[in-house]
Each structure stands twice: as structure tokens, then as C-alpha cells.
């Protein structure tokens, strides 16, 4: 998502719900909150919180239901249930599905698991940070070189933090030291670059956005070094997911509230459901059902019907596919001139 190339849309009177930049900036309050909790836990609570929290958010089922999966499902629902969107992008969806099938089908015979993991991790980190930098671009108005300098320093530093957290059990002491040293050096360079680039930001509000994105990475690195891995992943994950939902709900309100355009919102209208809760409720419900029961149901059915038990068909297969398609489609569905963007406006 990038708002740099699109001015505020002049929507009809009935479609005037706008994405608030102040609300988006407010999401970054998770940064000082998590750092404060870490400091309190280290200084006064004898690391009780650190021991209670899982070593990774992926080890906590509730985290999986609340973050990551729901917004990916929400994105897929928007694309799949609006006929005009699906028709516009169906060729791209088909080609990308084929490419993923080849890469993960044939490629898995030759490419090691670690290479696959780091490649997907890089795409994940790029997707998360590109969204946040893209949103901030609309208020910072940085030159292209400055925008991409800060973006790529953030992505590369974030990737080392991500790998350091999720592959920590397979890394030796020297590898961990190298990862921390490289990530720390990149964070320092990011801070210095931001200090230089902020001269191009003409407003205090824009500078708040610029430094919030810098701190998104720096705080994650700090929490990683302090071994508060849950917080290190929670910080960017919450900001990213909540930002996405603000866009999704705003889009759906502007598209459907005057006259529902698909079966979901026609059903919601009959049930007198507020348009603001339809997509979040549906996506969180689907995330819970698929995460809790999907693998067991598919495993049972394939065992009964085909005599072969297929494991993790939903959590690894279906949800993994939707995640990768989400990273791909979000790069163009929200760009200037896309069908989505005619239903998005912005307000400070």
C-alpha cells in the first residue's frame, strides 16, 4: 500500500469515510508500550513476563488467530467476492499460482529448506515494511532515493532480526553474534540515514511518521537482543495488520454501505450487521476455524477417502498459499488507478 502517488479522492457524499493518518500513526504506540513492559520486567518483575511469553508468537495459537492470518484472509475475501476485482486480476492470479506451484513443487526437490525459509522471510519482511513506508510516503513526501534508502535499510535489518528469532534454535553462537552485529550496524545506519533524510520532510507530522517507521525496526532489534522475541515480532505485526484492516474496512464501507455489491454484504444487510464488523468478524472466524480444525478435517477425509493421511494441508498448504498470494496481490491492488483505490480517501 502506498499513498504517495494518489491525491485525496473526491468521493460522492455517501462515500466519505476516510483513512485517518492520525489513527494510523497512533498504532505505533505499541512500540513504547512493549519497550516499557520489557524494561519493567527486566528491572522489577525478575523476568517473569519473559518466562511466561512464548519464544515466538507462532507458538501461541491465540496470536495466530489474532494476527497475520485474519488480515490475509480478509484481503483474499475482498479480492475473491467482488466480481469486478477478480475479473480484473484473474490472469495475474492464475500465473502466480502456477509459478508458486512450480517453485514449491519442483523447486523443493533441489532447494534446501533454509533457502526456502529465508526467501519467504525476506518477502514477508519486505511486504510488512513496504506497506508502512508506503503509507508514510503520503505525508513525508521524501525524494525517491531517500524513500528507497530507508525502505531497504529497514527491510534488510528486519530480515536479520526475523531470521535471528525464527531460526535461533538452528544457529550456533558465532552465527547469532554475526546476525546481531549486522542487524545492529544496519539499524545504526538506518537512524543516521533518517536523521539526514528528515530535512526533506516539511511537517512535524511527517517527521513523526518517518521516525515511527525507523523505530519499528530499531525497537524490534532491541527487543530481539534482549530476548523478548514475542514483543520483537508483535510490534511490526500489530502495526501492519491493524493498518491493513483500517484500509479494508474503509474500502468496504465506501463500496458497499449505500448499495451492497456482493453476497456477503447483502447477507449482512439482511442480518442488520454493521458494515464495520462484517469483514473483521468473517476473517477472524475463518482464521479460527481453519487454524483449529482445518488440518484435522482434511487429514481425516483424505484418510477415509484415499487411504492417505495428508498433514498440515490447511495451515501449511492453503494458508501458506494465501499468504504468498497476499504478498503478491497487495503490491498492485492498492496502487494508483486500481479499482480498489476509487473507494479510498485520506484525512489527517
pLDDT tens digits, one per residue of 50-106: 988 877 655 666 676 777 889 999 999 999 999 999 999 999 999 999 998 888 877
**Cα–Cα distance measured from residue 348 to residue 19, given in angstroms and rounded to the nearest whole number:** 8
Show the domain range for 270.
Answer: 19-347
Residue 76 in domain: yes
Residue 11 in domain: no
Residue 47 CA, distance from chain mean position: 29
Q: Which residues contact residue 23 at a Cβ distance below 8 angstroms, ignoring those fewer than 6 apart?
A: 246
pLDDT above 90: percentage of residues in the chain: 67
Residue 34 in domain: yes
Residue 7 in domain: no
* HEC per residue, 37-65: HHHHHHHCCCCHHHHHCCCCHHHCHHHHH
Q: Is the pLDDT of residue 10 over 60?
A: no
Residue 225 in domain: yes
DSSP state of 8: P
Query: What pLDDT score does 256 carry?
Result: 93
What does the pLDDT look like over 132-151, one tens digit per residue?
999 999 899 999 999 999 99
Helices (H), the chain: 21-26, 30-43, 48-52, 61-66, 69-81, 83-105, 113-140, 144-166, 173-197, 204-225, 229-256, 263-270, 275-289, 295-306, 319-333
Mean pLDDT estimate for the chain: 89
Residue 124 in domain: yes
Q: Which of the residue ranges 9-23, 142-156, 250-264 would you say has the lowest mean pLDDT?
A: 9-23
Q: Give the torsion through C-alpha atoms of 222, 328, 316, 58, to 10 deg.
A: 20
Query: What pLDDT score does 59 carry?
Result: 62
Bin 47: left if φ > 0, else alpha if -120 < ψ < 50, else beta: left
**Cα–Cα distance measured from residue 117 to residue 112, given in angstroms and rounded to the nearest whole number:** 9
> What is the total count of domains within the chain?
1
Query: What pLDDT score does 104 carry?
Result: 81
**Cα–Cα distance measured from residue 98 to residue 110, given in angstroms and rounded to the nearest whole number:** 18
Give pTM, 2 decimals.
Answer: 0.90
Residue 300 in domain: yes
Query: What pLDDT score does 9 carry?
Result: 45
Amino acid at each position: 500500500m502506498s499513498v504517495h502517488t494518489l491525491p485525496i479522492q473526491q468521493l460522492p457524499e455517501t462515500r466519505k469515510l476516510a483513512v485517518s493518518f492520525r489513527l494510523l500513526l497512533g498504532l505505533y504506540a505499541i512500540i513504547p508500550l512493549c519497550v516499557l513492559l520489557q524494561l519493567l520486567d527486566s528491572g522489577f518483575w525478575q523476568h517473569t513476563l519473559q518466562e511466561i511469553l512464548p519464544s515466538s508468537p507462532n507458538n501461541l495459537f491465540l496470536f495466530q488467530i489474532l494476527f497475520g492470518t485474519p488480515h490475509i484472509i480478509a484481503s483474499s475475501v475482498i479480492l475473491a467476492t467482488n466480481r469486478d476485482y477478480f475479473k480484473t486480476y484473474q490472469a495475474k492470479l492464475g500465473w502466480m499460482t502456477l509459478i508458486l506451484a512450480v517453485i514449491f513443487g519442483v523447486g523443493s526437490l533441489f532447494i534446501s529448506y533454509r533457502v526456502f525459509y529465508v526467501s519467504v522471510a525476506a518477502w514477508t519482511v519486505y511486504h510488512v515494511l513496504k506497506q508502512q513506508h508506503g503509507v508514510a510516503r503520503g505525508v513525508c513526501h521524501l525524494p525517491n532515493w531517500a524513500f528507497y534508502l530507508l525502505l531497504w535499510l529497514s527491510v534488510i535489518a528486519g530480515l536479520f532480526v526475523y531470521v535471528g528469532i525464527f531460526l535461533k534454535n538452528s544457529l550456533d553462537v558465532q552465527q547469532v553474534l554475526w546476525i546481531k552485529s549486522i542487524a545492529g550496524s544496519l539499524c545504526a545506519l538506518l537512524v543516521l540515514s533518517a536523521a539526514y533524510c528528515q530535512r526533506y520532510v516539511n511537517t512535524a507530522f511527517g517527521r513523526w511518521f518517518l521516525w515511527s517507521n525507523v523505530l519499528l525496526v530499531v525497537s524490534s532489534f532491541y527487543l530481539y537482543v534482549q530476548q523478548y522475541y514475542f514483543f520483537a515480532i508483535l510490534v511490526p505485526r500489530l502495526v501492519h495488520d491493524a493498518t491493513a484492516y483500517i484500509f479494508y474496512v474503509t474500502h468496504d464501507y465506501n463500496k458497499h454501505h449505500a448499495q451492497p455489491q456482493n453476497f456477503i454484504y447483502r447477507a449482512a444487510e439482511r442480518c442488520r450487521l454493521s458494515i464495520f464488523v462484517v469483514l473483521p468478524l468473517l476473517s477472524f472466524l475463518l482464521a479460527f476455524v481453519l487454524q483449529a480444525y482445518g488440518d484435522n478435517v482434511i487429514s481425516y477425509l483424505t484418510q477415509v477417502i484415499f487411504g492417505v493421511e495428508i498433514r498440515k494441508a490447511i495451515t501449511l498448504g492453503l494458508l501458506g498459499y494465501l499468504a504468498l498470494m497476499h504478498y503478491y496481490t497487495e503490491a498492485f491492488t492498492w496502487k494508483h488507478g486500481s479499482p480498489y483505490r476509487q473507494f479510498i480517501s485520506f484525512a489527517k
